[in-house]
Structures are given as structure tokens and as C-alpha cells.
Structure 1
């Protein structure tokens, strides 16, 4: 009798092991064939969730498709949160979809928000989504801005950080409109751990930034986006272009985002403006915004026009690059092309790149910005 019982138990264990071996294989096939996952991703997903029938996963996939999710978005959702396939569409997913629609989120917004942050469909509506929305609405006022934050940040549930961070900004005198700007444009910064956030505020104040200005929170964002070694490395990189530490800090104060530019982009712009155009690197530090524009599409075409105007004595040869690089398209055309077009009809073609090459007036440009010539 004991022997028969032991044999039965062994058979049960064997059958259960076989069933467990089979289930992952079934799940892997489902993830690959119906969810579009790679074999590697499917294996990983099958280790996090198991299902023995197609009823629940099929109902979830059908629900997502009915709500305008693309195959790519569904694949991303399932890859990140395979547990989603065990959800009840009517009881757990639909209320969350309706919640976002009540904010004014469009179908495209909705699918983008949820596929970028699948945990939103797993989290509790009452315990997480609604409290998060209520706080953001109290700060941002407009539902449209709240939707933007949901689209831009995966750290939306770090309210335990955001609440004291916002309180500290108010305490140091940052106006409501600027706080709204920070949360809407740099939400990940607003959700940073409070101790780090407080340190960044202290550092920015020490640099002399005015809390009443938008650039104050922009500087906070940059400091929190970079490690200290990376920031020091960027300052050192600028110093190679002739900026002293004080000049580099001046540039940072004028436009904090100049520290986020890639070394490659900085090199291209500085090499052209300093080495070829002869601009003062310090002058660029006073207006670092010029470094953000495309060299090929904006800086070089405009310099071509300025070359001609200087050569013909129509503008001064000590123009700061910011005077012709920063204005918008209409402003530049009015001031430097249309104004002189009757006397210099080739200006528009030069500006549009139809003159053949950049720098065709090199021979008459000696003395421009320190006496250096533009090299073709």
C-alpha cells in the first residue's frame, strides 16, 4: 500500500514537472506569435507570468486593439509588463482608459502615454493615479498640462519627492508660472530625490541665479541631469576653446543648457566661428545660444550673407555673431537680405546656397573679427 502511494506521488510530481515545462513553452510561443516579442524577450516575459488558457491574454490584446493601440505599442506594453495579460479588461483596464480620457487625452495621447509607461495600467486607480492627478492639477491647473506630464515622465508616482520639491521652490521665491514650466517641460527633474533637489537649489542660488526667472529652474534641471565629474569635464572642454572658468560660468548662467551640448556639436560650431570666422570665443560665451543652431542650415548661410555685406562696406566688420545668428528667419531676411537686395541682388541666392560654395568673398575679408579669413 505504501509502495503504491509512493509510486502515485512520484507520478504526480513527474506530471507536474512536465506541465511546468510545457507552460513556459506555450507562453513563449504566445508572446512571439501574438505579441510580437523576440524569442529572448518572450522567454524573459514567460518567467514573470504564466497562463494556461488563451481567454485572458486574448481579451486583453483585443481590448488594446479596440482602443487604438498599434501592434508595436502592444508589443512594448507586454514586453515591459507581461502581467498585463492577466488583467480583466472591463474591471481594471477600462476604468483607467476612461480616467485618462476624462482629462482630455486623445486616442493617440492615450496609447503613447500607456505604451511608454505600462505601469500606469498595473497601478491602482484609486491609490495612485487619482492622487497623482489631483496634485498635478492643483499645481498645473490645466488638464492639458497634466496630460503632458504623464506623457513625458516615467517617474510620475514619485510624489513623495515632488511634493517637498515644489514646496521648496515656493519657499525660495519661484513663481507659480515657473514651477508649472519646470513640471511640464522637465518632469523628471521635479521627481528627483528631495535631498539632491535641495542641494541643486542651493548651488544655483550660490551662482547668483534669480529665483523669479525661468532660467533658475533651467539651471536646476541641468545640474540634476549631469554628474559632477561630467559637468567638470564639460567646463574643461570649453576652457580648451579659450574660456576661463569665470567665462564658462558666465555662459552657464546665460544659457545653462550649453552644458548639455555634445562635444561634437560644440567643436563644429566653435571651430567654424572661432578658427574660420575669427570670432572671439568670449563673445560666444556671452551669447552661447548661437551654439545651439545648425552649422549647415543656419550659421554658415547667414555668415555667407554677412561676408558679402562686409566686403561691400554695407555693415560693420565687428558684428557679434549673435546679431545675425539669433534673429528669426523673418528678422534676418528683413535686416540683412531684403534691405540690401536692390544693390546686391545675389544675396538671396547666396543665402539659399545657390552661389556654389561658402566663402567666395574670402579675399576681401581681412580684418573681419580679428583679421582671420574664412577658409573654403
Structure 2
């Protein structure tokens, strides 16, 4: 792979500048062609830059005008070299659009000196060459940071923390920006969680699966942690880090909208907090998902609203793939007197094996029909 990448830029030296530009024009046929740029230099750098960003990179006029505030060039030679380099790495047109829109300054870089060493570094640490475009497009700003001063030290920090390159690469794929805020945000926020009593193992889990949470500014992160504490969530439990993540991902206005839906179905403020303590993800679901689940539980299945906070995890489960199929089985069992209505919510939280054993296979002759019903509902859900 490294040799292949080297050949991308090395081949430039083997032909004359004029021939190289002509080759680029041919190689980039998948992009909108602008033949008048191939061998000309505009006297108006700004106009040339805007036109190039529109015709070659695919930006809209508004995007190109905005990007031209941060980069300007009078010749397409360097920028063509960067775009052709990205193309050979497997970037699609839409990915190049994203890349150049987010960090247009990269069009002036020497790909061999600036881009290639960073790409080689990520590949050497285990990022597959096919995943490079996706990684870089999630946060193109990575390519502007120093390899020796920023990327390598940060990668080593997380690798030592996770005790695995692979685990960190997975986290990095979720949210690449985390590698850019190691000392300024991640470390201070980790320290705060330790100070309030969150076990290190839970901190690492939060960092591994929800890395975005740690890129909040320490000031905002501190406010979120205080709110979770005020709700009475135990720092030693996994619910604490889940609550921190939930509050990090929703605004006060969004919380109010979702709280309003729960109140519509008979919950009090205390009920909402109690549910959040047990299953913080109940506040991460969309307003429509919350409303549809409560409607099924309360209106169609007759579940008292006041009992639902004790099984708040149900609100985080898939409506079509879990709640509806199991509810269909429960309704049949209830109609035949084989279960009590009070056991409704427990049917949703048990494991798949326990559900099949307790509510389907244990009912003898009824079991085969119940299994068909359950499977049919699952098939509809896809």
C-alpha cells in the first residue's frame, strides 16, 4: 500500500509539467471538466479559485465563495495534484466535495510531504486503506495537524489507555475529532469523572463507545456532570456515564420537548427523573418514538403509566423488532389466562432465550402457534 501511495506522487516527476496537467485533465474525467483551466493561469486569483472549486471540486457557488476566504491560488497544478492523490486513495466525488469544503487549505498542500506521511501512519496502526477516505472525510481537519506533535502522541495515549490499537481505531472511526482534543478536553474531562467517583473501567467504556462526549469543553462538561449528580444517579454505576452522554447529546429545549410528551401520557417530573436514572437513553429517543411507544403501552396494552418508569429501559427498545412482536404473544397468552397483566413489562426486558422459554416453548401445544405469530411479526419488522 505504501509503495502504491508513493507512486501516486512520484509519477509526477517523470513527465513534463504540461504533460502532467494534460494527464490530470484526462484522469479526472469523472469530475466536471473545465478545459480552459488546464494550461492557463488566471490574473484574478480569487475568481480562479471560486471557479475551480465549483467546476472541479463540485462546490456550490455559495460554498466556493466561503471556501475562497481561506484559500487562494492562481494555478491548478498543486490543487489538481491533491485531488488526483485523493482519487487514487479511493475518494468518491462526494467525499472529495466534503474534504475540500471542510478544509479548502489542503488544496495548497504538497500531498507527498503533508498528506502521505499521515495516511501511512494510520495504515501502520491498523486503519485499512479502504477506510481511509471515510476516516478523513469524517474530520478532514486531521490532515492539518502535526503528525509528530499531535497525531502520534494522541494515538499513543489512547492506545495505552485501551491497551489496544484496534479498540482505539474503532473509537476513532466513530468520532475522529477526539484525537485532536486529547490534552485540552479529553484528559481534563476524564479527571473530573474520576474525582466524582466514576470507575476507570466505566470512563474507558464511555470513551470507547461515545467519544464525542469527551470533546465538550471542560466548563460545559462540568455542568453536565453536576446535573447528573443532582438527579441522583450513582457515579459507581454504568447509568452515570450513560446519563452524561445523554445530556451531552441533547439541548435543554430538546429535553423539554421530550418531557412534554411523557407528561402527556401521565408522567410527573419525578417520574421522568426516575426513568432517566434507570435508563438515561430514554431521553435520547425521538419525540415520535417516545410517543408511539407510550401509546402502545398505555392505550393498546393497558399498562398504567406510573409503572413504566420502573422499566424505563423498555422505552429504548425497538418498537417494531422487539416490543410489538412480544406484545402480540403476550396478548394471546393474556386472552387465554396463561399470564397476568402485571407481568406485561417484564416480557420486554428479558433476554431472547428467556422470552422464548418462558412465554412460548413452555406452553406445550400452544407453543408452535405462538412461535409462528412471533416470527411473523419479526419478519414484518425486517
Asked if Structure 1 and Structure 2 have the same fold, meaning a TM-score greater than 0.5 normalized by the shorter chain, the answer is yes
Is 2:182 the counterpart of 1:149?
A: no
Matched, 1:325 2:348: yes
Gap regions ≥5 residues in structure 2: 1-40
Post-superposition Cα deviations, 1:91-133, rounded to whole Å, max 9, x if no partner, equal 1111110111122111233221111111111112122222322
Specify the alignment match of 1:222 in structure 2: 246
**Which has the larger displacement, 177-186 or 60-69?**
60-69
What is the CA-CA distance between 1:21 and the residue it aligns to?
Answer: 6.3
**Structure 2 CA distance, aligned partners of 1:77 and 1:250?**
44
Contact 1:156 1:191 (C-alpha < 8 Å) held by counterparts: no
Contact preservation (8 Å) 1:341, 1:347: no
SS at match of 1:35: coil
In the TM superposition, residue 51 of structure 1 has moved relative to its aligned partner by: 2.1
In structure 2, the partner of 1:44 is 66
* CA separation of 1:50 and 1:229: change in aligned 2, threshold 3 A: closer
Q: Note if 1:300 corresponds to 2:321.
A: no
Partner of 1:175: 199
Does structure 1 residue 352 correspond to structure 2 residue 352?
Answer: no
Q: Deviations over 1:246-299 (max 9, x none)?
A: 222110100011112222111111111101211021221111121223333332
Q: Which of 280, 295, 298 is the equivalent residue of 1:271?
A: 295
- TM-score normalised by the chain length of structure 2: 0.80
Q: What residue in structure 2 maps to residue 374 of structure 1?
A: none
Unaligned runs of at least 5 residues, structure 1: 1-18, 358-376
Aligned to 1:289: 313
Q: Which residue of 201, 206, 220 corresponds with 2:230?
A: 206
**1:57 and 2:86 are equivalent in the alignment:** no
Normalization by structure 1: what TM-score? Answer: 0.81
Q: What is the aligned-residue RMSD (CA, Å)?
A: 2.4
* Cα distance per residue 1:7-37 (max 9 Å; x no partner): xxxxxxxxxxxx8764334333432333232
The equivalent of 1:188 in structure 2 is: 212
Query: For the structure 1 residues 248 and 78, does the alpha-carbon distance in structure 2 shift closer, same or farther, using more than 3 Å as the test?
Result: same
User: 3-state DSSP class of the match of 1:51?
Assistant: coil
Partner Cα distance (1:199, 1:44) in 2:
34
Query: Equivalent residue for 1:67?
Result: 89
1:133-186 Cα deviation digits (max 9, x unpaired): 233233222212322333233354233122211112222332221111111222
Between 1:32-41 and 1:180-189, the stretch displaced more is 32-41
Tell me, yes or no, if structure 1 residue 89 matches structure 2 residue 111: yes
* Compared CA separation, residues 82 and 140, structure 1 to 2 (3 A): same
Distance 1:345 1:145, change over 3 A: closer
Separation in structure 1 between the aligned mates of residue 86 and residue 132 of structure 2, nearest angstrom: 11
Question: Which of 333, 340, 364 does residue 363 from structure 2 map onto?
Answer: 340
Alignment of 1:110-189 (within 5 A): 110-153=132-175, 154=177, 156-158=179-181, 159-189=183-213
Cα distance in 2 for residues equivalent to 1:252 and 1:80: 37
Could you tell which deviates more after superposition, 273-282 or 25-34? 25-34
Structure 1 residues 210 and 228 mapped into 2: Cα distance closer, same or farther (>3 Å)? same
Counterpart position of 1:367: none
Q: Which has the larger helix fraction?
A: 2
For residues 165 and 223 of structure 2, the distance between their equivalents in structure 1, rounded to whole angstroms, comes to: 31
What secondary structure does 1:104 align onto? coil
**Aligned mates of 1:199, 1:56 — CA distance in 2:** 46
For 1:245-264, list aligned pairs within 5 A: 245-264=269-288
Q: 2:142 touches 2:180 (CA, 8 Å); kept in 1?
A: no
Q: Find the aligned partners of 2:158 and 2:281 in 1 and give their Cα distance.
A: 26
Question: Which residue is equivalent to 1:32?
Answer: 54
**One of 18, 21, 45 as aligned partner of 1:23:** 45
Deviating more after overlay: 268-277 vs 25-34: 25-34
